[in-house]
Amino acid sequence: MEKLAKRALLVDFYGPLLTDKQRNVWDLHYQQDLSLTEIAEVENISRQAIHDLLKRTERILTEYEDKLGLVQRFWTEREKLLEVQSVLEELKEQDFSCQEAYERHLKIRMMIEDVFVKISAI
């Protein structure tokens, strides 16, 4: 997984566990693309303190993931969902013995597609 995407997912899953200052500095640097110097000016602390805070925050997020594994579980379940979606897309109306079974298949397919759209936005 790309490092930037991993950071984004870590903060999506574990961001609420950070302090306000950690979240704010993380947002300024990774979301708003401010330099360490610019953030230091906004926060009225040294550039080195901002650097240390970002490194500590990343370490904390990584430790949460190591203990809880929510991001890894998300990616694993997402891959399974992609496989299910692919299998469902291959099924055709003639593969079903009755119209009701085909309609249930379509309903399940729509529900899975809806879930996939929502998790793809994460």
The tens digit of pLDDT for each residue in 3-17 reads 888 899 999 999 999
What rounded mean pLDDT belongs to the chain?
A: 91
The answer as to CATH 1.10.10.10 being correct for domain 3-68 is yes
Alpha helices in 1-98 (DSSP H): 3-14, 20-26, 36-43, 47-68, 70-90
Residue 14: which of 67, 54, 51, 55 has the closest Cα?
Answer: 67
Mean pLDDT, to the nearest integer, of 70-81?
91
Residue 120: which of 90, 87, 88, 85 has the closest Cα?
Answer: 85
Spatial distance between the Cα atoms of 43 and 22, rounded to a whole number of angstroms: 11
The tens digit of pLDDT for each residue in 53-63 reads 999 999 999 99
